[in-house]
């Protein structure tokens, strides 16, 4: 069983931490204060909710176990990919029903556009670029699924394009894939600078942010909620919980509703154009269709960033970096022998139905989490929707359906077998790739 997600609060040294401006640590909560809304979790979801609420005139306090961007919001691959993962519009129609199907499908498709628009509106300097996302197919079966999904999503205006042969090889810079799908709405950001920029915007609006302040307990006090930390309390009308892959024991049953996964990344020093000049020359991001996917990007200074899924250790650490380097060299033989100067990882949240979850288990308590690897864009959408609920929008009018909080089925067994399943999926992927070649 992996260690508690907030047991070790230090952020890893990463490419993002070394290329973000210095950020003053947010002091811990050391008082008793009152406000309209207290947000537990200061990542993308929580800060986006805080910004919308503050713009509407609400008083907001944000509590985070670490400092700004210490969790997944500052560690992820920075790929701004629209659309819900794993589920095509056909599957979503059956899962969501008439009320939410078109609403959520369209919102998820627009989620990247919405995020880039927010970045421009707030003036956040985070290296945002919307040059597209290339998803490459690892075999013919994946191509057939992709062609079906493209047809479905394009009915909603996605503008996706299937690429073959020389087209996909020229765009990706790799000969490991014979086909792929270009989604022009996708793009990339420097995730930690985005987290910092959003937090700074919140502070300008009057939001009070407290780092190193894990929320320990909550209780009712009349019509208000009281949230307790080790050195202070916040009394508020609403509690918004936005802890995603770093969900601990603050709210009963919440951690059991997700399974944490551990994406990992490696990055090079700036490389000579003779090495990387033909890799992703158009500035797109890339990922693939294997069970254990890869995702990568080339930075403007010619660094390569390459990611995949790691194996969580019982002590809270993550393994898998040697496998990741070998995979990078398989996909991009140009990178053989280069120096990988960074390695880091974090946690994301997997939900059982592969949909983001919005819960309102008690009056004045709202929970949003579970982006299944598509969190950069979807978390900001969720934050906005949570704020709309607090500001008076009825649950049935929201973009996300409000669902009951329930545990992931057979979760203890699935958690115990997580690393074995990862190994089996890698083996299945390798066999499929070998058969294609």
285 pairs with which residues across the strands? 133
Per-residue confidence (pLDDT) for residue 12, from 0 to 100: 78
Per-residue confidence (pLDDT) for residue 5, from 0 to 100: 52
Identify the residue whose tokens are 């995702």: 295
340 pairs with which residues across the strands? 268
Which stretches of the chain drop beneath a pLDDT of 50?
1-2, 7-8
Beta carbons within 10 angstroms of residue 9's beta carbon: 16
Tokens of residue 222, six digits:
């009349």
Show Cβ contacts of residue 411 under 8 Å, excluding neighbours closer than 6 positions.
Answer: 256, 259
pTM above 0.85, yes or no: yes
Identify the residue whose tokens are 């999926």: 425
Per-residue confidence (pLDDT) for residue 1, from 0 to 100: 42
DSSP 417: T
What domains, with CATH codes, occur in the chain? 15-77+192-258+352-406 (3.50.50.60), 133-184+260-350+417-436 (3.30.9.10)
Secondary structure (DSSP) of 72-105: GGGTS--EE--S-SS--HHHHHHHHHHHHHHHHH
Tokens of residue 3, six digits:
């260690």
Distances (CA, A) of 366 to 49, 183, 236, 271, 397: 11, 32, 13, 46, 15
Helices (H), 6-127: 15-18, 44-55, 89-122
CA within 13 Å, CB half, 200? 16
Query: How far is Cα 416 from Cα 63, in angstroms, rounded to an integer?
Result: 31
The interaxial angle of helices 44-55 and 191-204, nearest 10 deg, is 30
Closest CA to 219 of 228, 230, 208, 229: 228
Question: Could you report the per-residue pLDDT of 229-250, keeping only the tens digit for each?
Answer: 999 999 999 999 999 999 999 9
Query: How far is Cα 169 from Cα 338, in angstroms, rounded to an integer?
Result: 21
Three-state SS at 34: strand
First to last CA, the chain: 37
DSSP 68: T
Give ∠ CA 327-283-355 in degrees, rounded to 5. Answer: 70
Tokens of residue 219, six digits:
């209780």
Per-residue confidence (pLDDT) for residue 11, from 0 to 100: 67
Query: By the 8 A CB rule, do 281 and 296 touch?
Result: no
Question: Could you report the per-residue pLDDT of 330-372, keeping only the tens digit for each?
Answer: 999 999 999 999 999 999 999 999 999 999 999 999 999 999 9
Per-residue confidence (pLDDT) for residue 3, from 0 to 100: 53
Query: By the 8 A CB rule, do 377 and 80 touch?
Result: yes
Query: By the 8 A CB rule, do 165 and 153 touch?
Result: no
């Amino acid at each position: 069983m992996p260690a508690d997600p907030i047991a070790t609060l230090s952020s890893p040294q990463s490419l993002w931490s070394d290329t973000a401006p210095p950020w003053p640590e947010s002091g811990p909560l050391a008082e008793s204060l009152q406000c309209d809304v207290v947000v537990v979790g200061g990542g993308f979801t929580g800060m986006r909710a805080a910004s919308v609420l503050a713009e509407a005139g609400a008083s907001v306090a944000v509590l985070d176990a670490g400092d700004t961007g210490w969790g997944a919001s500052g560690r992820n691959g920075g790929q701004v990919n629209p659309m819900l993962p794993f589920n095509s519009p056909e599957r979503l129609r059956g899962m969501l029903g008439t009320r939410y199907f078109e609403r959520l499908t369209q919102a998820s498709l627009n989620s990247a556009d919405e995020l880039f628009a927010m970045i421009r509106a707030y003036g956040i300097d985070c290296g945002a670029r919307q040059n597209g996302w290339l998803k490459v197919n690892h075999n013919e079966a994946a191509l057939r699924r992709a062609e079906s999904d493209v047809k479905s999503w394009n009915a909603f205006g996605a503008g996706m394009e299937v690429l073959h042969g020389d087209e996909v090889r020229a765009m990706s810079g790799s000969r490991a894939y014979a086909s792929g799908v270009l989604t022009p709405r996708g793009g990339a950001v420097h995730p930690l600078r985005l987290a910092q920029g959003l937090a700074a915007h919140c502070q300008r609006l009057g939001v009070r942010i407290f780092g190193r302040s894990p929320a320990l307990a909550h209780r009712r006090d009349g019509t208000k909620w009281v949230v307790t930390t080790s050195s202070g309390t916040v009394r508020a009308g609403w509690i918004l919980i936005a802890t995603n892959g770093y969900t601990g024991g603050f709210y009963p049953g919440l951690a059991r509703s997700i399974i944490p996964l551990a994406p990992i990344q490696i990055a090079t020093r700036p490389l000579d154009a003779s090495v990387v000049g033909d890799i992703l020359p158009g500035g797109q991001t890339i990922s693939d269709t294997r069970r254990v996917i890869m995702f990568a990007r080339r930075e403007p200074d010619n660094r390569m960033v390459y990611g995949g899924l790691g194996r969580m250790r019982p002590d809270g650490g993550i393994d898998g970096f040697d496998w990741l380097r070998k995979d990078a060299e398989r996909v991009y033989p140009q990178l053989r022998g280069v120096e990988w100067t960074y390695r880091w990882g974090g946690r994301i949240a997997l939900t059982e139905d592969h949909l983001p979850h919005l819960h309102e288990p008690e009056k004045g308590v709202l929970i949003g989490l579970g982006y299944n690897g598509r969190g950069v864009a979807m978390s900001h959408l969720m934050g906005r929707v949570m704020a709309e609920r607090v500001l008076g929008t009825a649950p049935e009018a929201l973009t996300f359906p409000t669902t009951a909080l329930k545990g992931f089925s057979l979760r203890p067994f699935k958690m115990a077998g997580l690393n074995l399943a990862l190994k089996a999926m890698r083996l299945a992927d390798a066999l499929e790739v070998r058969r294609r070649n």
